[in-house]
């Protein structure tokens, strides 16, 4: 909210939430008369140019599909989309002649972590990922951790060693041989470590988001470039 209010030429023209404690937009810091919707079928065509989605994994696909079908440029920070859903949304955006962005993480430190990890994986094929988030995060692994694994897999043919799990799940999830471990605890916000091991040495790349304000610089970039996006991109690094 504060970010948009501080950007010249940008304003919030409508809000959508499936559960509202109030129908008065002023209770949310919005201008009087701003439409407040509680379902997709209430959203009016042309009410906005850009659709910013920070919702939940269970609704993000339908939200973004609706946005593209009705001419909105989506800027999406909600995780939980599958590879197939992302591919379908990309195809739909192309059909509609729209651009947009799906970003697993809008934090610059997270974007750089993924970039650095992909580079390191060329030299250290043995790698595991640990991601730590607040206790209320709905999906696991995080979209950032999964995106990191996908980027590493592009340059590495790592195969996870066979391990005997005396407690099922102890070795974490597996993405093309890359183990991903998820931690959910109160007190955390969003954190990730990528651990590389080699003969006689190790490399750890870590990023920490201590406050949600850390994501705003990336959101600002996406909003500034929204009108110039010629396709639906996945990953903030692709529009920097």
Is residue 134 flagged as an active site residue?
no
Write down the catalytic residue from 118, 137, 181, 191.
137
Find the radius of gyration of the CA atoms of the chain. Answer: 19
Domains in the chain, ordered, with CATH? Answer: 2-102+213-238 (3.40.50.720), 108-209 (3.30.360.10)
pTM: 0.80
What pLDDT digit, counting tens, does each position of 66-87 carry? 999 999 999 999 988 998 999 9
State the DSSP code for 150. H
Mean pLDDT of 120-144: 94
Is residue 181 flagged as an active site residue?
no
Write down the catalytic residue from 133, 150, 181, 191.
133
Kind of pairing between the strands at 100-102 and 73-76: parallel
**Rounded alpha-carbon distances, angstroms, from residue 7 to 34, 41, 52, 108, 221:** 18, 29, 15, 19, 11
Residue 5 confidence (pLDDT): 77
Mean pLDDT of 116-125: 95
Burial-class residue 217 by CB neighbours within 10 Å (0-12, 13-18, 19+).
Answer: middle
User: Per-residue pLDDT for 88 more than 90?
Assistant: yes
């Amino acid at each position: 909210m504060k970010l948009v209010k501080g950007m010249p030429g940008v304003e919030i023209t409508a809000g959508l939430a499936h559960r509202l404690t109030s129908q008065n937009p002023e209770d949310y810091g919005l201008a009087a008369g701003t439409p407040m919707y509680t379902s997709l079928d209430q959203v009016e065509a042309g009410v906005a140019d850009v659709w910013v989605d920070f919702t939940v994994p269970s609704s993000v696909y339908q939200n973004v599909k609706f946005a593209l079908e009705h001419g909105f440029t989506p800027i999406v920070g909600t995780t939980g989309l599958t590879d197939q859903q992302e591919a379908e949304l990309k195809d739909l955006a192309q059909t509609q002649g729209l651009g947009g962005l799906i970003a697993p993480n809008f934090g610059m430190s997270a974007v750089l972590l993924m970039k650095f990890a992909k580079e390191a994986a060329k030299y250290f094929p043995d790698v595991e990922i640990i991601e730590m988030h607040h206790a209320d995060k709905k999906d696991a692994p995080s979209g950032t951790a999964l995106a990191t694994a996908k980027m590493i897999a592009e340059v590495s043919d790592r195969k996870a060693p066979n391990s005997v799990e005396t407690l099922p799940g102890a070795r974490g999830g597996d993405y093309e041989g890359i183990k991903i471990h998820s931690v959910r605890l109160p007190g955390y916000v969003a954190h990730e470590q990528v651990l590389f091991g080699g003969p006689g040495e190790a490399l750890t790349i870590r990023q920490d988001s201590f406050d949600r304000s850390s994501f705003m610089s990336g959101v600002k970039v996406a909003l500034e470039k929204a009108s110039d996006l010629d396709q639906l991109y996945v990953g903030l690094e692709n529009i920097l």
